[in-house]
Structure 1
Amino acid sequence: MANPSQPLESMRAHPEHDGIIATHYLAIWESYETPSENLLPNARDIILDFLKVGRAQFALASFIAFDGNAPVGSVSCRLNTKSYPVVLKPQYSKEGYLWSVFTDPAYRGRGVARKLVGMAVEHLEKHGCTSVVLHSSQAGRPLYAGMGFELTTEMRLKFEAALALSTQAAD
Structure 2
Amino acid sequence: MYQYREVAPGDLDLICRHRREMFTDSGRPAQVLAAMAQPFRDWLAPRLASGVYFGWIAQAQGRPIGGLGMQVIDWAPHPNHPAQDRRGYILNVFVEPEHRGRGVATALMAMAADEGRRRGLDYLALHATEKGRPLYAKLGWSQGKEMGLNLK
Q: 1:52 deviation in Å?
A: 3.3
Q: Over alpha carbons, which structure has the higher Rg? A: 1
Q: 1:10 deviation in Å?
A: 1.0
Q: 1:107 to 1:56 in 2, by over 3 A?
A: closer
Tell whether 2:92 aligns with 1:92. no
Q: 1:103 deviation in Å?
A: 0.7
Tell me the amino acid that sits aligned with residue 124 of structure 1: G
Tell whether 2:135 aligns with 1:146. no
- Partner of 2:83, secondary structure, is coil
Q: Which has the higher strand share?
A: 2
- In the alignment, the residues of structure 1 paired with residue 112 and residue 91 of structure 2 have an alpha-carbon distance, to the nearest angstrom, of 10
1:98-137 to structure 2, matched below 5 A, reads 98-137=90-129
Q: 1:120 deviation in Å?
A: 1.9
Match of 1:39 in 2: 33
Q: Which one of 58, 61, 68 corresponds to residue 65 of structure 1? A: 58
Alignment root-mean-square deviation, CA? 2.8
- In the alignment, the residues of structure 2 paired with residue 27 and residue 153 of structure 1 have an alpha-carbon distance, to the nearest angstrom, of 22
Q: Which one of 3, 9, 25 corresponds to residue 15 of structure 1? A: 9
Q: 1:68 deviation in Å?
A: 1.2
TM, length-normalised to structure 1: 0.73
Match of 2:45 in 1: 52
Tell me the amino acid that sits aligned with residue 108 of structure 1: R
- In the alignment, the residues of structure 1 paired with residue 122 and residue 42 of structure 2 have an alpha-carbon distance, to the nearest angstrom, of 27
Tell me the amino acid that sits aligned with residue 92 of structure 1: A
Q: Is the 8 A contact 1:65 1:112 kept in 2?
A: yes
- In the alignment, the residues of structure 1 paired with residue 129 and residue 145 of structure 2 have an alpha-carbon distance, to the nearest angstrom, of 16
- 5+ residue gaps, structure 1, are 1-6, 160-171
